[in-house]
Every structure is written in structure tokens, then in C-alpha cells.
């Protein structure tokens, strides 16, 4: 079995040189070169030989290598065709890895999970995600309600802070509510930009999203719920009544909106970032009844 650590700075540089690989900035490629951080990512996913790991954007396989030594089965989805032969070569000593070329946002993930993880009891997504596509990937995983236990990902620190934010802070917004509706988010660790090749301009963080058995709150219509949330955060300096009037209703309906907000025990002069997810659920359910 391959003993050389792909993740060491020396080995990463040698691999890049050996295969003549050049980074594509448009794909947000940054390879992690700190084995300690890789191990903490894997540990956060709570994997063992009975469980499977889906990795998105494996790069040259530094995280993949650690996953194959912990999980029973690993499936790595890579968008960059140039990396497929490199991954297959570097990981040829492991018999529990499947590398798939494709765009995770276009693939049928449910079918892939069903076919690839037949013998695994639980599946976690574990990945170092490209910054530019972090939110679309995470929301796609959540909204499609895939059979996943945990999502443990390295993402931009600022985005991670928004996902775990509580009402009242400047980081709290529609992303906080969307993530917390589906998951219990937890910040695992922050990661300096110096442990990547090439180095990104900002620091990163590892976040664990433990999927809930059922959503945090009961809502009658999830699509309408998120419309209300989005409208409430449209202009953060505006009160919730003004945001809703400007973005979801008309000025003629303002008085009716005020009455509904008050019936939900929400002061119309509050700003959207002060409302809890429970208050948004109560409000959207009430609004849906009368619209």
C-alpha cells in the first residue's frame, strides 16, 4: 500500500512537477499540504469501515488518501479531466476508492450514492470545496435531501461564520437560516491560508453540518418560507415591514402585513436579521394562509 503522504509540501510539489500539472484559477484549485488538518477533517466526519465518504473536488488526492484509510468506501468526484489519470495513478494502491469525472451539480448524486455505497451503513460528504461554488454545492446537497449523515467541508472562513451565525449579528442571514433549517452546523477549526498550494487570499474553516432527521421547524411550504426569508434580508438596513412591502407584497397591503406581523408577536419595526428561524416559520405559515 502507498505509504508516501501526498499532502506533504515536498510530495505535492513533486507530483505537480511530475505530471506537469498547472492550476486553473477558474476552478478554485488549492491543494492542502498539512496532514494534521487533513486528519482533523476526517475525524470530524466520524467515519469508520462501515461508513462511506463522498468527496467533491479531490484535486491530487491528499484528502482522498486519508479517507481511504478510514472509511470503508470512498467516491471522489472531480470536475477537472486532467486530474483523473493523476488520481488513478496516485491512489492505485487502494481498492476502496472510485474516481468519477463530472460536475457534482449536474450528476445524479442519489443514483451514485445508491450504486456506490450498497454495503455502507452511513454516508458523509467530506471535501475541500472551491470557494466559488461552495454555497451552490452545499444547498444542492441539502435541498435534494440525500441520504447523508454529515457534511464536513473546508470552505471560506467568512462563509462558515455565516452558516453558524445566530440572530442579531452581522453574519446572520438567509444562508444561516437555510443551513440551520436542514442541519446542526458546528465550526470545527479555522485554517490559515499558508497551508495550501497555491495560497488563497483568505483564511478557511472546516465546518460540520450534521443533517437533521427532520427540519428544525415545521413549515407548510418550504419554497414560500425561503421567499419570505430572502425578501426580509433584501436590504439589511430596512425594517422587516419595509422589506416585505418592497419585495414580496405591495404598499397597499402594508397595513394587513403589520397586523399579521403583530399577530405573530413580531414588531414590524424589527430588522430581518433579528428574527429567529422559528419566527420566520411562524410568519411564513401565517402569510401563506392569507395570500
The reply to whether 267 sits in an annotated binding site is no
The reply to whether 103 sits in an annotated binding site is yes
The reply to whether 32 sits in an annotated binding site is yes
- The burial of 284, by beta-carbon neighbours within 10 Å (0-12 exposed, 13-18 middle, 19 or more buried), is given as buried
Give the other-Cβ count within 10 Å of 218's Cβ: 10
* Residue in the structure block whose three cell numbers are 429567529: 276
CA distances from 2 to 90, 92, 95, 160, 224 (A): 8, 8, 11, 33, 51
The reply to whether 78 sits in an annotated binding site is yes
Q: Which parts of 61-127 fold into alpha helices (H)? A: 62-68, 83-90, 109-116
Give the other-Cβ count within 10 Å of 258's Cβ: 16
220 close to 285: Cβ distance less than 8 angstroms: yes
How many whole angstroms separate alpha carbon 280 and alpha carbon 229? 7
What cell does 34 get? Answer: 498539512
8 close to 35: Cβ distance less than 8 angstroms: yes
Beta strands in the chain (DSSP E): 31-32, 51-56, 73-78, 97-101, 122-128, 150-156, 183-191, 196-197, 204-211
Please report the sign of the dihedral spanned by the C-alpha atoms of residue 110, residue 98, residue 61, residue 212. positive
Give the pairing of strands 51-56 and 73-78: parallel
Annotated binding site: 30, 32, 57, 78, 103, 128
Annotated binding site for S-adenosyl-L-methionine: 30, 32, 57, 78, 103, 128
Amino acid at each position: 500500500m502507498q505509504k508516501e503522504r501526498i499532502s506533504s509540501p515536498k510530495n505535492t510539489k513533486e507530483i505537480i512537477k511530475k505530471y506537469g500539472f498547472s492550476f486553473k484559477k477558474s476552478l478554485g484549485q488549492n491543494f492542502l499540504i498539512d496532514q494534521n488538518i487533513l486528519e482533523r477533517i476526517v475525524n470530524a466526519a466520524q467515519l469508520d469501515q462501515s461508513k462511506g465518504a463522498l468527496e467533491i473536488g479531490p484535486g491530487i488526492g491528499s484528502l482522498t488518501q486519508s479517507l481511504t484509510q478510514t472509511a470503508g468506501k470512498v467516491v471522489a468526484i472531480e470536475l477537472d479531466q486532467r486530474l483523473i489519470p493523476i488520481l488513478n495513478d496516485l491512489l492505485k494502491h487502494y481498492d476502496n476508492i472510485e474516481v468519477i469525472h463530472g460536475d457534482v451539480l449536474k450528476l445524479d448524486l442519489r443514483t451514485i450514492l445508491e450504486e456506490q455505497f450498497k454495503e455502507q451503513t452511513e454516508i458523509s460528504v467530506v471535501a475541500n470545496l472551491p470557494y466559488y461554488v461552495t454555497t451552490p454545492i452545499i444547498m444542492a446537497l441539502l435541498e435534494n435531501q440525500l441520504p447523508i449523515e454529515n457534511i464536513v467541508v473546508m470552505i471560506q472562513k467568512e462563509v462558515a461564520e455565516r452558516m453558524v451565525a445566530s440572530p442579531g449579528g452581522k453574519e446572520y442571514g438567509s444562508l444561516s437560516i437555510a443551513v440551520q433549517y436542514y442541519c446542526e452546523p458546528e465550526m470545527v477549526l479555522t485554517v490559515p491560508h499558508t497551508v495550501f498550494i497555491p495560497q488563497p487570499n483568505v483564511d478557511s474553516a472546516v465546518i460540520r453540518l450534521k443533517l437533521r432527521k427532520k427540519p428544525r421547524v415545521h413549515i407548510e411550504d418550504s419554497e414560500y418560507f425561503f421567499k419570505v426569508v430572502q425578501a426580509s434580508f433584501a436590504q439589511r438596513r430596512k425594517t422587516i415591514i419595509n422589506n416585505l412591502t418592497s419585495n414580496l407584497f405591495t404598499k397597499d397591503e402594508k397595513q394587513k402585513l403589520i397586523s399579521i406581523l403583530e399577530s405573530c408577536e413580531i414588531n414590524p419595526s424589527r430588522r430581518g436579521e433579528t428574527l429567529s428561524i422559528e419566527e420566520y416559520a411562524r410568519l411564513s405559515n401565517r402569510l401563506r394562509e392569507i395570500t
